[in-house]
Amino acid sequence: MINLILLLIVPLIGISYILFEQLSGRGLSPDKISFITMGITAAVLLSGLMYGFIPFNLNINSAVDFSLSLNINFITIPFLLLVVVLPIPILYFASNEIKENKPMFYLFYLLVYSSAVGVFISSNLIFFFLFWEVAVLSLFFMMSLWGKTIKSRKAGMKFLVFTQFGSLTLLAVFILLFVYTGSFNFYTIASKMSSVPLYIEYVSFFLLLITVMIKMPVFPLHEWLPDAYYYSPTPVTMFLSGILSKFGGFAFILFGFGLFRNILINLRIPLVLLGVLAAIYIALVASGQRDLKMLFSYSSMFYMALVFIGVSSGMTVAVSGAVLLMISHGFVITLLFGISYILLQRTGTNETGKLGGLTSRMPLLSIFFMLAVFASLGIPGLSNFPGELLIFIGTYSVAGISLIAIFGIMISTNYYLRALKEAMFGHLQNKLSGIKDLNRTEVLVFLFISFFILLIGVFPSLLTGVLGGL
């Protein structure tokens, strides 16, 4: 049996070790420390999955029910897998991209890592919020301090302003819940939900909705995302899209579906409609993008809109589909951003029109590119398919309009294939003829991500099996 606190202690040791190294000024480089730390954490997670976890509880102040209590709830484990595993390949891109002030960067890196783990396992809402904030703030610093241009700072500021607003509404939800149930513990609140008056439930649900829509993000509140994704250093973009956007979905499922289920069910039709609109809108906007990184940013929002549809339906099947899609999307989008990063590095541009015919120079990269595109298109056997299938099956029975979103998949087929064709196929441009293919490390990193894409695609039961008590 593995105590959950270990998942937090290991990264904290890593952080303090980096600090220590920084003070003593020698020894291991910080990226190696981060790698070892994350490796150990992954090992802890693995052994935990094999032998089971035991919850952890440390009471700090019982008057406000302020305690560090960690527990596995009904959707934690898939997210835990994502958040523990995904930063390991991201580290490679970080070590490539980040040259200045390394110790600080990896400090923040591990801080995001541990707080993301913390968000998914803490059942005390104060700590939930604390971890949530630490993750957002660290990403803000990573974004604005290591971004290349003045625009990255602005983007960082925008990101902070937006998400802080979302965090405040979330805090308001927690406070409302505390006022009416007298507890910050998720399980206590869940058992006392009957004592919350209906209008308070509605108010908190809407507040939660704002948080979710900012965080995921869903159409009307997505304005921070294109800037933030585009101008951040690639590892930060991967963090944002692979992990941070999942916070929104996680909160939506945990609180929206877990606590306010009745309201969710009452409002399901307008919410699904909103999701469908967002999906179509985003898919159309994405087809107007000429830059790979921007295209992937928008496509990322498209899948989040599908997740939103799935959760809003309030059907168990669709919610499990949403979880599956989020996990899968984390891996797929990281692969896509990795590809766009390597293309940018090698060719100096990310605009599909300026690339072309790269397959003959970069056969390995094109294999991964095709894999990622096929995964995004929801080809069976790759990871997006089970999630999308479950979402649509679940929502169809209560809200047939959700099927309109399939039209969005059609549009996304168009833009993905266009990007693939323009960048990889056709005649090779002369100035690109000296380009090099992936090196061995990059292949390993991509293989690592692809392994999970295939694993989830072929054996979705691995994830659906651990979605206990949904």
Near another protein in 102-121, by CB under 8 A? 104, 107
Q: How far apart are CA 342 and CA 346, in angstroms?
A: 6
Instruction: For another protein, give the closer residue by CB, 214 or 251.
Output: 214
| Residue 418 engages another protein in binding (rule: CB under 8 A) | yes
Q: Which of residues 130-169 bind another protein (CB under 8 A)?
A: 130, 134, 137, 141, 145, 154, 157-158, 161-162
The Cα 294–Cα 227 span in angstroms is 9
- In sequence order, which residues have a C-beta less than 8 Å from that of residue 203 and are 6 or more positions away? 176
Site string for another protein, 247-266 (x = CB under 8 A): --------------------
Q: Token pair for residue 136?
A: 């957002």
Which of these ranges, 6-14, 176-184, 196-204, 404-412, lies near another protein under the rule CB under 8 A? 404-412
Write down the least CB distance from residue 414 to another protein, Å: 6
Q: Considering the rule CB under 8 A, would residue 360 count as an interface residue with another protein?
A: yes
As measured in angstroms, the least distance from the Cβ of 93 to another protein is: 20
CB of 43 to another protein, least distance (A): 27
- Residues in a beta bridge with 2: 53
CB 8 within 8 A of CB 70: yes
Tokens 């059942």 correspond to 123
Q: For the chain, how many helices (H) and strands (E)?
A: 21, 4
Which of 5, 54, 269, 428 lies at the binding interface for another protein (CB under 8 A)?
Answer: 428
Q: What share of the chain is helix, strand, coil (3-state, %, to 5)?
A: 75, 5, 20
Q: Tell which one of 117, 386, 399, 442 touches another protein (CB under 8 A).
A: 386
> Does position 344 bind another protein by CB under 8 A?
no
In this structure, what token pair is assigned to residue 355? 């690339």
CB of 12 to another protein, least distance (A): 13
Q: Is 64 in the site for another protein (CB under 8 A)?
A: yes
Where does this chain touch another protein (CB under 8 A) — which range of 86-94, 199-207, 340-348, 354-362? Answer: 354-362
Between CA 310 and CA 313 the distance in angstroms is 6
**Given the complex with another protein, which of 66 and 202 has the nearer CB atom?**
66
Measured from the CB atom, the residue of 2 and 377 that comes closer to another protein is 377
User: Is the CB of 403 or the CB of 444 nearer to another protein?
Assistant: 403
The count of other CB atoms within 10 Å of the CB of residue 201 is 18
Binding mask 188-227 for another protein (x = CB under 8 A): -----------------------------------xx-xx
Residue 240 is a binding residue for another protein (CB under 8 A): no
Distance in angstroms (rounded) separating the CA atoms of residues 70 and 75? 14
Residues from 305 through 324 that contact another protein (CB under 8 A) = 316-317, 320-321
Return the closest-CA partner of residue 118 out of 106, 132, 107.
Answer: 132
| Cβ neighbours around 295 below 10 Å, total | 24
Calpha distance 366→299 (Å, rounded)? 19
Of 248 and 386, the one with the shorter C-beta distance to another protein is: 386
Structure tokens at 467: 């979605």
